[in-house]
Structure 1
């Protein structure tokens, strides 16, 4: 059977010279001075270097079976983008290590866990994990960066880093999915079952790391309880961070779902235009994308 892909209007562009001045005077709690908001995104960052390596390996498992030249090129560009994401987040994580956060231990445990999963589970399962995680990160980009208030209080350099990461997640959001469906020939129940698994395990790991970070920050038990109460309301409350994502998230469970059914993204277009106009200045592009959000 011929392998087919549904393409987007966005080319996958590996950008290898991005710089966010991560060695600059970035505050410890860079998200408006809020420890929970800051450490939530910091905790995600600690997972990215090993996570990106995992995603690359899981897609590479099927690379030799791809017959569609367009998908072959998309996989190549996907792997280059993911490698760059891991490199930039490693730079950011070095800041956290200097703050007393044992990022080295977090990365070692993450690496060990992902290695065990790849040894114990079939390649189709780990590829389905990759497709699920790619969907989750891309819908965060769709939602977070279209709403100006979400990152209004964030340090512009870290905001720019996450906007750049989100933009590239949008560009390659269908690659792992297309390999899963058209090359690995995964069925509906594997796809959605692994999405349920990933939807539980990913936030669980983020929260465990976040808890460790708040302890390292020196907050007392009572202070941490208050931070968690306010933070979970910020994440999951009626006007919380994740509520606008739910429609995009549950779309994954439709039998005929494809990532490019979500359509265009105005923030992407603003970012790409500003990035080109400013000679590849990712911070300037991030500021322009944020300023133009609704």
Structure 2
């Protein structure tokens, strides 16, 4: 049930985010690109939220191993926010009001959820979000065709983020279970809320971005309909990981019950050998089924 690798914060990585990445870097597909871009605008404030929700209970942790994992979890999440902020600067140059999007996310997370919900609830939502991001790593990289048309630099950025989500996928959950003593009903309710909220937020932001890009009403409707079919259809972006997602609702679940991602060590070994996250991302992608 335990992981066989440490949580390793990796800093000052170069994804060439200031390079000639195309506007529609996902094979020229406007929806797919903007859907991933929408997620990127959520991450900086989202990562700060996760850190703060785990930090609420850090002083109550007596296990030195869990304390060390919390420290490295926070460093990884902080770095994720930094890198996505760098990429989001590209979106600003394309006319996307990233500042307004981040203000909305900040207000929702910190001025509503953190202000009015119990700390147990916000920690449970953090644990749920961490499970979702970890299983998305499986969706994005276990099948080669999912990101086959993505720009290698963007694919590498999401690969690095995904692999680190795999590394620390149990930290918030362990704090929730062992320290906050969150019960089953709160845990699964939080997952339902996070699932709905994340997808609504991402899709509404995607639609806004397509409007900024100049797509008219009918064009946006068509792009959104085709894109949502790509996400939710049988064999699409989400359906292959449905079973993994639903495991969270089982009594007695723990994130490490599902083990590791099959190709995680290929990414890790390549990165440790070369220090190049783009090369590591390419090796990971090539190993997909």
Please tell me the TM-score bracket, short chain as reference.
over 0.9
> Counterpart in 2 of 1:267?
263
2:95 and 2:139 map into 1 onto residues whose CA distance is: 32
Deviation at 1:108, TM superposition (A): 0.7
**1:16 and 2:11 equivalent?**
yes
Residue 3 of structure 1 is matched in structure 2 by: none
Q: Deviations over 1:11-51 (max 9, x none)?
A: 10000121100000000000000000000000000000000
Task: Give the structure 1 partner of residue 246 of structure 2.
Answer: 250
- Equivalent residues in 2 for 1:60-139, closer than 5 Å: 60-115=55-110, 116-139=112-135
Cα RMSD (Å) of the superposition? 0.8
Hey, what does 1:25 align to over in structure 2?
20
Deviation of 1:263 after TM superposition, in Å, equals 1.1
Return 201-210 or 162-171, whichever deviates more.
201-210
Contact 2:166 2:260 (C-alpha < 8 Å) held by counterparts: no
Q: String of CA shifts for 1:152-172, please: whole Å, max 9, x gaps.
A: 000000000000000000000
| 1:235 aligned residue | 231
Distance in 1 of aligned mates of 2:39 and 2:5: 26
- Residue matched to 2:156: 160
The 5 Å alignment of 1:187-198 reads 187-198=183-194
* Partner secondary structure for residue 7 of structure 2: coil
Distance 2:190 2:27 in 1: 35
Deviation at 1:238, TM superposition (A): 1.5
Q: Give me the whole-angstrom Cα distance separating, in 1, the residues matched to 2:269 and 2:2.
A: 21
Q: Distance in 1 between matches of 2:12 and 2:52?
A: 24
Contact 2:31/2:223 (CA < 8 Å) preserved in 1? yes
2 CA distance for matches of 1:258 and 1:214? Answer: 38
Q: Structure 2 unaligned runs (5+)?
A: none
Shift of residue 10, structure 1, vs aligned partner: 2.0
How many residue pairs are counted as aligned between the two chains?
288
The Cα offsets for residues 174-221 of structure 1, whole Å up to 9 and x where unpaired, read as 000000000000000000011111111111111111110000010111
* Aligned residue in 1 for 2:48: 53
Out of 2, 25, 34, which is 1:39 matched to?
34
Unaligned regions of 5+ residues in structure 1, if any?
A: 1-5
Segments ≥4 residues shifted beyond 6 Å: none
